[in-house]
Chains A and B, each alone.
Chain A
Amino acid sequence: MTKENKGASVDRRKFLAGVAVAGAAATAAPLKNTARAAAPAPNADRPVASVQTAENGLVQPGPYSYAAGKPGSDFMVDVIKSLDIDYVVTNPASSCRGLHESLINYGNNTKPQMLTCMHEESGAAMAHGYYKASGKPMMCLFHGTVGLQHATMALYNAWCDRVPIVVVVGNHGDAASRRPGVPTAHSAIDPIGLIRDFTKWDDQPWSLQHYAESMIRAYKIAMTPPMEPVALSLDGHIQEAPIPEGSELFIPKYTPTAPPQGDTNAVREAARLLANAENPVIVADRMARTPEGMPLLIELAELLNATVVNQYNRMNFPNTHYLSGGGGAIARADVVLGLELTDFFGAVNRFVDSEHFQLSSRVRPGTKLISIGVGDLYTRANYQDFQRLQPVDVSIGADAQATLPALIEAVRQEIPEARRATIATRGDNARRAFAQARENALQEAMWGWNSTGKVSLGRLASEIWDKVKGENWAFCGDSLNGNVTRLWTFDKAYQHNGGSGGAGVGYNLPAAVGAALGHREHGRLVINVQNDGDSMYAPGAYWTSAYHNIPMLTIMNNNRAYHREVMHVQSVGNWRNRGVENFMIGNEITKPNIDYATLAQSLGVNGIGPITDPSELGAAITRGIAMVKAGEPALIDVVTQPS
């Protein structure tokens, strides 16, 4: 503690003594602060209301002074720094003002640096996208109650997508010490209760030491598979008050928890099934937690010449590999290995959304199913993101990536000599099928090639690819009805940032900004294919990208409607024989058409378009890329066909 601070804390003690006197006096004369007996006489001018109150002696003695000592929130910054967190994303809030001030003035706004977002939902989605691009969790600093209410959907997405985020919300627990009015209305007994169904752990620390422990614990829990958001409610008073004298605060050491690996016997059983299969198929969803995941899966797949169906929530497998296949492969499988599938049921069953409930198996009777994943290790009850229960033959509750080395070894040992020829033939067939699929994809990209007014998605994906294929690029956003994943070559772990997890719309724009921030230090050209409806939930994220100099090229997939919903309403209308004439009511985003280029410009992002003639696309994309390479975000509005 510095000299001045020491002096100040003495003053504080004096102040507290005064309060004690005042307290005693208050019994006799409520609301009268006798410690202020020597208050100046009323002045002649008409005072403002607050001055009047003071002059009338109506000030209630406070239970604290924030004026002196090293603030508690400085210690909180020390703890955050110990975790090597790079960014704190915030929408500023009075309940967090103590920590906010410490982050910028004590922590010098570096590691972590504050990011300003314009909606807590955008902030949480930024943290979500950033984690997947960088492998590092962000901290979100939000106002309790109303701020957290804004953040909820984005946190649900992160929960479904198994993404760690450390959420910290400000709250004032003590009714006697908190500010009345709005701060009181924004206080809660249990602010985190709102998101408890989709966070892995939370706490409301009641002292600085408690905070230090809980922050380290929260981070550790978030980073242990299944990785999920965690939350702390930080009391405003503990942030703002000086560190109590005599406190011996310390920061516990953070040691990452090694992810759980599959049981040896179960892994051996899985290996036996795979090694002896006629047609093994691997379906991977949230498997590749780190860049090491992809080479492991390649090794396993090549050992078996098994088709890999990548569900793209993580970049599990290169689409340039001859074993990369479509979901149709599942129908031919006799053994299916599911790696970190949130929805194994959906992978092996087919639901047809039609007039009559149609549910059927995608797999042949007798197909053996093997599941490796952390989904079985942690589930919450309320929200149904765990999907329907899929009975399987071997169920391994473990982290799939951590289990792959043992599985690869076991498969190597289990492959019978007599099988090797069959496995080699499988590889030859896969190579032929892959080449054919590639040819088909190119052909399919041409359908609707010259469509004007509404550009075809195959054309759009092709035009972007033509300009980015020579660059060091990364992709986020909508895959344009699969055209992007069919036509572009994805062979690096960072090139695809996956989906939202919970399908909560409004995710993509801020998540792309977060991802672009993660890619920035690597100099990657980030292409964000942005759906129009999604971007209008909180377009302030464009401003955040401009303010924080986060370069990214947004291509607006502007089909001017909530098109998925159009199709739902059409279906119901037809089932009822009422026709489809009115299908745009409640679904269209026209009259007026939104001018995204101008919107972007007003938020500090370069805007180009709208483009309705596909022959203009190439030049526009070249221009947009030049802007992004100059370090600025840019947007190209393309009016498109629905997907």
Chain B
Amino acid sequence: MQRILKTAAAVTGFVVLVSSSALAQDAENGNQLFQAKGCWTCHGTMGQGGRGPKIAPGPLAFEAFAAYVRQPALEMPPFREPILSDAELQDIHAYLLSIPQPPDPADTIVGQ
């Protein structure tokens, strides 16, 4: 259902209101999955990177994102259908989309 709403949201302003709360729900579920499925161990709990690269904020578009997770080219272990469903992958992507931009370095000790 949520997925249908999301698709609809792209074309009608009316559904956007409905879907934004649905999206928030997905993102929350995605956050749980991101931790439970262990993405955080290589990408950090906020997707900021670690052994693997930064994947949020500003993740890849869903198709490219899903394609990589299903069949990575290099060191990342593949998360195939039996261990991560399409719906779960969507929610993880929603979580990564929900991660806000970090502060500007100039506004912190880094820029001083």
Taking Cβ atoms with an 8 Å cutoff, the residues of A that contact B are 352-355, 358, 442-451, 453-454, 456-458, 462-463, 466, 481, 487, 563-564, 566-567, 570-575, 577-581, 583, 618, 641-643
Contact = CB atoms under 8 A, between A and B. Distances in A.
Given A443-B105, A641-B48, A580 B83 contact: yes
29 contacts: A353-B75, A442-B105, A443-B105, A444-B54, A445-B105, A446-B103, A446-B108, A447-B49, A447-B57, A450-B102, A450-B103, A451-B48, A458-B48, A462-B110, A463-B109, A481-B51, A566-B41, A567-B41, A567-B42, A570-B77, A573-B77, A577-B82, A579-B37, A580-B77, A580-B83, A581-B37, A641-B44, A642-B40, A642-B42
Contacts of A570: 38, 41-42, 77
Interface in B69-90: 72, 74-75, 77-80, 82-84
B41 A583 contact: yes
B45 interface: yes
Contact of A448 (B44, B51, B105): B44
Nearest to A573: B77
A352 B102 contact: no
A342 B63 CA distance: 42
Given A447-B48, A449-B108, A451-B48, A642 B41 contact: yes
B50 A641 contact: yes
B111 interface: yes
Contact of A574 (B83, B103, B112): B83
B46 interface: yes
B61 interface: no
A448 B102 contact: yes
Contact of A643 (B40, B46, B50, B80): B50
Interface of B: 36-38, 40-42, 44-51, 54, 57, 72, 74-75, 77-80, 82-84, 102-105, 108-112
Contacts of A567: 41-42, 51
B110 A578 contact: no
Given A578-B83, A579-B83, A466 B46 contact: no
Given A567-B51, A570-B38, A583-B41, 6 more contacts: A447-B48, A462-B109, A481-B50, A564-B51, A572-B77, A642-B40
Given A463-B109, A583-B38, A446 B51 contact: no
A456 B48 contact: yes
A571 to B, nearest CB: 4
A134 to B, nearest CB: 32
Contacts of B104: 446
Contact of B77 (A445, A458, A487, A575): A575
Given A354-B74, A449-B108, A642-B44, A574 B51 contact: no
A449 B109 contact: no
